[in-house]
Amino acid sequence: MAIQVINPGTNLNTVPTPAAVALASNYIDFTSAATKGWGQQYVPDLMAKEAEVFGNRSVSGFLEQVGAEEAMQADRVVWSEQGRLHLSYTGLVSGTGVITIAEDIDGNSVDATGEAGHGVRVGDTVIVSKAGTSGATVKCYVSDVTALAVTVLPYSVATLVTHANIAAGNTVSLFVYGSEFAKGQEGRTGSNSPTFKSYSNKPIIMKDLFEVSGSDASQIGWVEVSGEEGQSGYLWYLKAAGDTKARFTDYCEMAMIEAELTNTTASSTVPVDGSEGLFAAITDRGNVSYGSTAFAMTDFDAILKEFDKQGAIEEYMMFLDRTMALQIDDMLAGLGNNASGSAYGVFDNDEDMALNLGFSGFRRGSYDFYKTDWKYLNDKSTRGGVVDGQIDGAGAGDIEGVFVPAGVSSVYDQNLGKNLKRPFLHVRYRASQADNRKFKTWTTGSVGATTSALDAMQMHMLTERCLVVQGANNFMMLRG
């Protein structure tokens, strides 16, 4: 039997087959110029599964671990924090041995009136100290006080300035450790009232929008997806809506971390007031450690000494970027090293297990620390993409981590009029019986339930919230 040879036409093969069989005679020649330069021989092989090339792209979750959320109904949240129990000040020594009080031990200025004055009284016994290589420590009796100065009489020398290492103009610190009165001497003539510090913050309104036209909404193209907002299965245009919501959820947390109050003196162009985020609160009221190129135990011990000065909270969570996390791992691993390398068994390793040089927690002194990576500081599209030394002015260095105290703090809530225990970090959002603005969404447009003449679907998102950082003096920020 002779084989029939088919001679296809110039532009289009005209011999179809009754079955879906790929033959040389039944496909469109997409390579010819006459068919507009199409390059596929067959219909493309569609991979319906969306490739997850960035893993979990969300950077939120920090506040869920260390904070809480609570509703508010006012334009501002106000809270008060306890002052120090003991009296401690710094000041300048005059030629007569009088110490002019400048500020308290936390750097708050002391003035002549109101609660900002000092609390030293006649009859107090104090320790006066001068720092430095030629320092001195002198125990004294307070013989006279004025609004801004105290006169002290040393127990061991004639006057303060006759001490070998203290002279007029020196800066000294003093703290009250007791009192002493002679027989028959009258008692106190004044009392010290407890002091507190009042702080406030205001919520910011955040918004986002997703829009798809009516035509695109009716042109269904299915893609198998899995997303940060729990999307799983096949979606069409709602995949983009899910990504928009996931991004806005991240913004809700990132804004609480990065928010800044508008400096009305320096900026006359910003039309909003701003808010105080975590980094701003720590910079203003907390502690900042500028690290060296290699974080060592001496650096860590210096941080512990600062915590000792602030209240000695025993448990801390360390949220670190990759560089600092590895430096702390190396620091801890180095404690078990010998001349030939890592000591066998230091990390409970056996011969069938690779050496584990990662640490999730440890104890130093009287403190417990729990270490975790903070994706927000590592992700290239967020803080991980910030160049060293380019933040908040020259030489500031990038943020490498924060120490967050665990547990709760006791504060006086001026709105409720009572003491409450809350986490050191918590988010306040606007809500009432009429409207909850914690995370509000609504849909408008002509797609689905028609609400306007707009030939599109618009999904609106809104939140109104602020972060309350209580006891910021117990927080520590690590900068490169």
Q: Where are the domains of the chain?
A: 1-43, 54-83+195-337+356-480, 84-181
* Residues 409 and 471 sit within 8 Å (Cβ to Cβ): yes
Q: Which residues of the chain have pLDDT under 70?
A: 1-53, 55, 112-116, 219-239, 291-293, 312, 336-358, 387-396, 407-422
**Strand partners of residue 427:** 69, 467
Q: Which residues, at least 6 apart from 337, have a Cβ–Cβ distance to it below 8 Å? A: 343
The dihedrals phi and psi of 92, each to the nearest 5 degrees, come to -110, 140
pLDDT at 391: 47
Question: What is the predicted pLDDT for the residue at 449?
Answer: 78
What does the pLDDT read at residue 362? 84
pLDDT of residue 462: 96
User: Distance between CA atoms of 348 and 351, rounded to whole angstroms?
Assistant: 10
Measure the CA–CA gap between 374 and 97, rounded to whole angstroms. Answer: 53
Three-class secondary structure assignment of the chain:
CCCCCCCCCCCCCCCCCCCCCCCCCCCCCCCCHHHCCCCCCCCCCCCCECCCCCCCCCCCCHHHHHEEEEEECCCCEEEEEECCCCCEEEEEECCCCEEEEEEECCCCECCCCHHHCCCCCCCEEEEEEECCCCCEEEEEEEEEECCCEEEEEECCCCCHHHCCCCCCCCEEEEEEEEECCCCCCCCCCCCCCCCEEEEEECCEEEEEEEEEEHHHHHCCCCEEEECCCCCEEEECCHHHHHHHHHHHHHHHHHHHHHCCECCCCCCCCCCCCECCCHHHHHHHHCEEEECCCCCCHHHHHHHHHHHHHHCCCCEEEEEECHHHHHHHHHHHHHCCEECCEECCCCCCCCCCCCCCCCCCEEEECCEEEEEEECHHHHCCCCHHHCCCCCCCCCCCCCEEEEEEECCEEEEEECCCCEEEEEECEEEEEEECCCCECCCEEEEEECCCCCCCCCCEEEEEEEEEEEEEECCHHHCEEEEC
The pLDDT assigned to 279 comes to 93
How many CB atoms neighbour CB 57 within 10 A?
Answer: 16
pLDDT of amino acid 177: 95
Residues whose CB falls within 8 Å of the CB of residue 31, separated by 6 or more in sequence, listed in order:
37, 38, 39, 41
| Both tokens assigned to 135 | 């320092």
Measured between alpha carbons, how far is 374 from 402 in angstroms, rounded to an integer? 9
CB contact at 8 A, 138 and 156? yes
pLDDT in the model for residue 297: 86
Q: How many CB atoms lie within 10 A of CB 307?
A: 22
| CA 167 from centroid of its chain's CA atoms | 44
How far is 469 from 280, CA to CA, in rounded Å? 10
pLDDT at 204: 94
Q: Report yes or no: 71 and 146 within 8 Å, Cβ to Cβ.
A: no
Measure the CA–CA gap between 64 and 73, rounded to whole angstroms. 22
* The CATH classification of domain 84-181, taken from the options 2.40.50.140, 2.60.120.10, 2.40.30.120, 1.10.3720.10: 2.40.30.120
Q: What is the pTM of this model?
A: 0.75
How far apart (Å, rounded) are the C-alpha atoms in residues 77 and 130? Answer: 41
